[in-house]
Structure 1
Amino acid sequence: MPDRKGKIVGFELSIPQPETAASFYKDVFGWDVGDPSHGYAPVSTEKENGIYGGISKGGGDFPHRVRIHMEVYSIDETLAEAEKSGALVVKGKMESEDFSLAYLVDPTGIEFGLIERKERSS
Protein backbone atom coordinates (compact mmCIF):
# COMPACT_ATOMS: atom_id res chain seq x y z
CA MET A 1 0.00 0.00 0.00
CA PRO A 2 1.64 3.29 -1.05
CA ASP A 3 2.07 5.99 1.58
CA ARG A 4 -0.01 8.89 0.28
CA LYS A 5 -1.20 10.35 3.55
CA GLY A 6 -1.17 14.11 3.41
CA LYS A 7 1.09 14.82 0.43
CA ILE A 8 0.04 18.19 -1.02
CA VAL A 9 -0.82 17.52 -4.67
CA GLY A 10 -2.93 20.48 -5.73
CA PHE A 11 -4.64 23.77 -4.95
CA GLU A 12 -7.60 25.95 -5.87
CA LEU A 13 -7.74 29.73 -6.04
CA SER A 14 -11.32 31.04 -5.86
CA ILE A 15 -11.61 34.77 -6.50
CA PRO A 16 -14.11 37.32 -7.83
CA GLN A 17 -12.02 38.02 -10.98
CA PRO A 18 -10.55 34.68 -12.11
CA GLU A 19 -9.44 36.07 -15.50
CA THR A 20 -7.36 38.79 -13.80
CA ALA A 21 -5.79 36.21 -11.48
CA ALA A 22 -5.02 33.88 -14.40
CA SER A 23 -3.23 36.70 -16.26
CA PHE A 24 -1.32 37.73 -13.14
CA TYR A 25 -0.01 34.24 -12.32
CA LYS A 26 0.81 33.56 -15.98
CA ASP A 27 2.74 36.82 -16.36
CA VAL A 28 4.53 36.89 -13.01
CA PHE A 29 5.19 33.19 -12.34
CA GLY A 30 4.89 31.56 -15.76
CA TRP A 31 2.02 29.29 -14.76
CA ASP A 32 0.30 27.42 -17.59
CA VAL A 33 -3.40 28.28 -17.27
CA GLY A 34 -5.80 26.29 -19.42
CA ASP A 35 -9.14 27.28 -20.87
CA PRO A 36 -11.94 27.37 -18.28
CA SER A 37 -14.46 24.54 -18.26
CA HIS A 38 -17.51 24.79 -15.99
CA GLY A 39 -15.99 27.92 -14.44
CA TYR A 40 -12.70 26.22 -13.51
CA ALA A 41 -9.41 26.90 -15.33
CA PRO A 42 -6.79 24.16 -14.79
CA VAL A 43 -3.31 25.33 -13.76
CA SER A 44 0.14 23.75 -13.93
CA THR A 45 2.79 25.57 -11.91
CA GLU A 46 5.77 23.94 -13.62
CA LYS A 47 6.53 21.69 -16.57
CA GLU A 48 8.26 19.15 -14.30
CA ASN A 49 7.73 18.52 -10.60
CA GLY A 50 5.14 21.29 -10.15
CA ILE A 51 1.76 20.83 -8.59
CA TYR A 52 -1.54 21.22 -10.38
CA GLY A 53 -4.46 23.35 -9.42
CA GLY A 54 -7.14 25.61 -10.72
CA ILE A 55 -8.60 29.08 -10.72
CA SER A 56 -12.34 29.68 -10.41
CA LYS A 57 -14.83 32.39 -9.49
CA GLY A 58 -15.43 32.51 -5.74
CA GLY A 59 -18.91 32.34 -4.30
CA GLY A 60 -20.76 35.43 -3.15
CA ASP A 61 -20.64 34.42 0.52
CA PHE A 62 -16.90 33.63 0.48
CA PRO A 63 -15.34 35.17 -2.64
CA HIS A 64 -11.64 34.75 -1.78
CA ARG A 65 -10.27 31.33 -0.93
CA VAL A 66 -7.10 29.32 -1.28
CA ARG A 67 -7.56 25.61 -0.68
CA ILE A 68 -4.85 22.95 -0.75
CA HIS A 69 -5.56 19.36 -1.77
CA MET A 70 -3.86 16.46 -0.02
CA GLU A 71 -3.60 12.97 -1.47
CA VAL A 72 -4.70 10.09 0.75
CA TYR A 73 -4.89 6.35 0.20
CA SER A 74 -8.51 6.14 1.39
CA ILE A 75 -10.87 9.11 1.57
CA ASP A 76 -13.37 7.07 3.58
CA GLU A 77 -10.82 6.20 6.28
CA THR A 78 -9.37 9.71 6.34
CA LEU A 79 -12.81 11.33 6.62
CA ALA A 80 -13.64 9.12 9.61
CA GLU A 81 -10.29 9.85 11.27
CA ALA A 82 -10.59 13.60 10.59
CA GLU A 83 -14.13 13.78 12.01
CA LYS A 84 -13.00 11.96 15.17
CA SER A 85 -10.26 14.60 15.50
CA GLY A 86 -12.70 17.51 15.21
CA ALA A 87 -12.91 18.23 11.46
CA LEU A 88 -16.17 19.17 9.75
CA VAL A 89 -16.97 17.51 6.43
CA VAL A 90 -18.15 20.29 4.10
CA LYS A 91 -18.64 18.14 0.98
CA GLY A 92 -18.47 14.36 1.27
CA LYS A 93 -16.82 12.00 -1.18
CA MET A 94 -17.42 13.03 -4.80
CA GLU A 95 -16.48 10.73 -7.68
CA SER A 96 -14.83 11.57 -10.99
CA GLU A 97 -13.28 9.32 -13.60
CA ASP A 98 -9.71 9.53 -12.28
CA PHE A 99 -10.10 10.41 -8.60
CA SER A 100 -12.41 10.94 -5.64
CA LEU A 101 -12.53 14.28 -3.83
CA ALA A 102 -13.88 15.60 -0.51
CA TYR A 103 -13.75 18.97 1.29
CA LEU A 104 -13.27 19.46 5.01
CA VAL A 105 -12.65 22.21 7.56
CA ASP A 106 -10.10 21.51 10.28
CA PRO A 107 -10.81 22.37 13.96
CA THR A 108 -9.22 25.83 13.47
CA GLY A 109 -11.40 26.76 10.47
CA ILE A 110 -8.97 26.02 7.61
CA GLU A 111 -10.67 24.42 4.61
CA PHE A 112 -8.83 21.74 2.60
CA GLY A 113 -9.50 18.99 0.10
CA LEU A 114 -8.70 15.28 0.02
CA ILE A 115 -7.91 13.42 -3.19
CA GLU A 116 -7.86 9.65 -3.65
CA ARG A 117 -6.53 8.66 -7.05
CA LYS A 118 -8.18 5.72 -8.78
CA GLU A 119 -5.79 3.07 -9.97
CA ARG A 120 -5.97 2.48 -13.69
CA SER A 121 -5.90 -1.07 -14.98
CA SER A 122 -3.89 -1.59 -18.17
Structure 2
Amino acid sequence: MARVIGFELNSQEPEKVLEFYSKVFGWKIAEPNWDYWKVVTGEEGKAGIDGGIAKGPHDYPFGTRIQIEVDSIDEAISLAKANGAMIVRDKMEFEDFYLAYLVDPVGLGIGLVQKK
Protein backbone atom coordinates (compact mmCIF):
# COMPACT_ATOMS: atom_id res chain seq x y z
CA MET A 1 0.00 0.00 0.00
CA ALA A 2 1.37 3.43 -0.95
CA ARG A 3 1.44 6.03 1.80
CA VAL A 4 1.13 9.83 1.77
CA ILE A 5 4.48 11.09 3.03
CA GLY A 6 4.22 14.82 2.46
CA PHE A 7 2.66 17.75 0.70
CA GLU A 8 3.78 20.49 -1.63
CA LEU A 9 2.28 23.98 -1.72
CA ASN A 10 3.02 25.76 -4.99
CA SER A 11 2.84 29.54 -5.43
CA GLN A 12 4.24 32.25 -7.65
CA GLU A 13 4.91 34.18 -4.42
CA PRO A 14 6.51 31.53 -2.17
CA GLU A 15 8.04 34.07 0.23
CA LYS A 16 4.53 35.31 1.09
CA VAL A 17 3.36 31.73 1.64
CA LEU A 18 6.39 30.95 3.82
CA GLU A 19 5.71 33.95 6.02
CA PHE A 20 2.00 33.12 6.34
CA TYR A 21 2.42 29.48 7.42
CA SER A 22 5.34 30.29 9.69
CA LYS A 23 3.51 33.07 11.52
CA VAL A 24 0.05 31.46 11.65
CA PHE A 25 0.98 27.82 12.39
CA GLY A 26 4.56 28.04 13.64
CA TRP A 27 5.91 25.82 10.84
CA LYS A 28 9.70 25.62 10.65
CA ILE A 29 10.96 26.55 7.20
CA ALA A 30 14.36 25.39 5.88
CA GLU A 31 16.63 27.35 3.58
CA PRO A 32 15.61 27.11 -0.10
CA ASN A 33 16.96 24.50 -2.47
CA TRP A 34 15.98 24.96 -6.17
CA ASP A 35 13.08 27.30 -5.22
CA TYR A 36 11.84 24.65 -2.76
CA TRP A 37 11.67 25.11 1.01
CA LYS A 38 11.29 22.02 3.24
CA VAL A 39 8.68 22.51 5.94
CA VAL A 40 8.44 20.84 9.37
CA THR A 41 4.88 21.04 10.67
CA GLY A 42 5.22 19.44 14.09
CA GLU A 43 7.27 17.47 16.54
CA GLU A 44 8.88 14.14 15.66
CA GLY A 45 6.74 11.24 16.82
CA LYS A 46 3.43 13.11 16.65
CA ALA A 47 0.85 12.24 14.00
CA GLY A 48 1.08 14.35 10.86
CA ILE A 49 3.27 14.93 7.83
CA ASP A 50 5.85 17.46 6.76
CA GLY A 51 6.14 18.90 3.30
CA GLY A 52 7.42 21.79 1.31
CA ILE A 53 6.65 25.10 -0.31
CA ALA A 54 7.80 25.72 -3.86
CA LYS A 55 7.77 28.38 -6.50
CA GLY A 56 5.23 26.76 -8.75
CA PRO A 57 6.55 25.60 -12.14
CA HIS A 58 4.91 26.66 -15.40
CA ASP A 59 2.91 23.42 -15.55
CA TYR A 60 1.58 23.78 -11.96
CA PRO A 61 1.94 27.46 -10.99
CA PHE A 62 -0.17 27.23 -7.81
CA GLY A 63 -2.01 24.65 -5.77
CA THR A 64 -1.47 21.77 -3.37
CA ARG A 65 -0.16 18.31 -4.20
CA ILE A 66 0.21 15.34 -1.91
CA GLN A 67 3.37 13.25 -2.18
CA ILE A 68 2.83 9.48 -2.23
CA GLU A 69 5.69 7.07 -1.65
CA VAL A 70 5.63 4.01 -3.89
CA ASP A 71 7.84 0.92 -4.15
CA SER A 72 8.20 1.26 -7.93
CA ILE A 73 7.64 4.63 -9.56
CA ASP A 74 7.64 3.06 -13.04
CA GLU A 75 4.88 0.64 -12.06
CA ALA A 76 2.87 3.37 -10.32
CA ILE A 77 3.11 5.64 -13.38
CA SER A 78 1.98 2.81 -15.64
CA LEU A 79 -0.97 1.93 -13.38
CA ALA A 80 -1.95 5.58 -13.03
CA LYS A 81 -1.95 6.11 -16.81
CA ALA A 82 -3.97 2.92 -17.33
CA ASN A 83 -6.53 4.26 -14.87
CA GLY A 84 -6.99 7.71 -16.40
CA ALA A 85 -4.17 9.84 -14.99
CA MET A 86 -2.25 12.36 -17.05
CA ILE A 87 1.52 12.57 -16.53
CA VAL A 88 2.58 16.16 -15.92
CA ARG A 89 6.28 15.42 -15.37
CA ASP A 90 7.66 11.99 -16.03
CA LYS A 91 10.15 10.28 -13.72
CA MET A 92 12.94 12.63 -12.59
CA GLU A 93 16.05 11.49 -10.75
CA PHE A 94 17.40 13.26 -7.68
CA GLU A 95 20.22 12.29 -5.33
CA ASP A 96 18.14 10.16 -2.93
CA PHE A 97 14.87 9.59 -4.76
CA TYR A 98 12.86 9.56 -7.98
CA LEU A 99 9.92 11.92 -8.45
CA ALA A 100 7.06 12.23 -10.95
CA TYR A 101 4.02 14.50 -11.07
CA LEU A 102 0.64 13.52 -12.41
CA VAL A 103 -2.96 14.61 -12.39
CA ASP A 104 -5.64 12.10 -11.44
CA PRO A 105 -8.78 11.62 -13.59
CA VAL A 106 -10.55 14.60 -11.94
CA GLY A 107 -7.57 16.98 -12.05
CA LEU A 108 -6.04 16.62 -8.58
CA GLY A 109 -2.26 16.94 -8.52
CA ILE A 110 -0.17 14.11 -7.10
CA GLY A 111 3.55 13.61 -6.66
CA LEU A 112 4.98 10.09 -6.74
CA VAL A 113 8.19 9.44 -4.78
CA GLN A 114 10.40 6.36 -4.83
CA LYS A 115 13.36 6.38 -2.46
CA LYS A 116 16.60 4.92 -3.79
Q: TM-score, normalised by structure 1?
A: 0.84
4+ residue segments displaced more than 3 Å: 59-63
Deviation at 1:80, TM superposition (A): 0.8
**Structure 1 residue 12: deviation in Å?**
1.0
Query: What percentage of aligned pairs have identical amino acids?
Result: 48
Deviation at 1:72, TM superposition (A): 0.7
Alignment of 1:21-40 (within 5 A): 21-40=17-36
Q: Which runs of 5+ in 1 are unaligned?
A: none
> How far off is 1:59 after superposition?
4.3
Q: Please, what is the CA RMSD of the aligned residues?
A: 1.6
Shift of 1:62: 5.0
Shift of 1:106: 0.7
**Mapping 1:25-64, distance limit 5 Å:** 25-49=21-45, 50-59=48-57, 62-64=60-62
In structure 2, the CA distance between the partners of 1:99 and 1:61, relative to structure 1 (3 Å rule), is closer
Q: Which of these residues, 93, 104, 111, is aligned with residue 113 of structure 1?
A: 111
Distance 1:83 1:62, change over 3 A: closer
Distance 2:99 2:64 in 1: 16
Q: Which structure has the larger Rg?
A: 1
| Correspondence 1:6 to 2:2 | yes
Unpaired segments ≥5 residues, structure 2 = none
Q: 1:80 to 1:44 in 2, by over 3 A?
A: same
Q: Which residue of 2 aligns with 1:86?
A: 84
Range moving further from structure 2, 43-52 or 65-74: 43-52
Aligned residues: 114
Q: Secondary structure, in 3 states, of the residue corresponding to 1:25? A: helix
Q: 1:80, 1:44 → 2: CA distance?
A: 32
**2:7 aligned counterpart, secondary structure:** strand
Distance in 1 (alpha carbons) for counterparts of 2:60 and 2:69? 25
Question: TM-score normalised to the size of structure 2?
Answer: 0.88
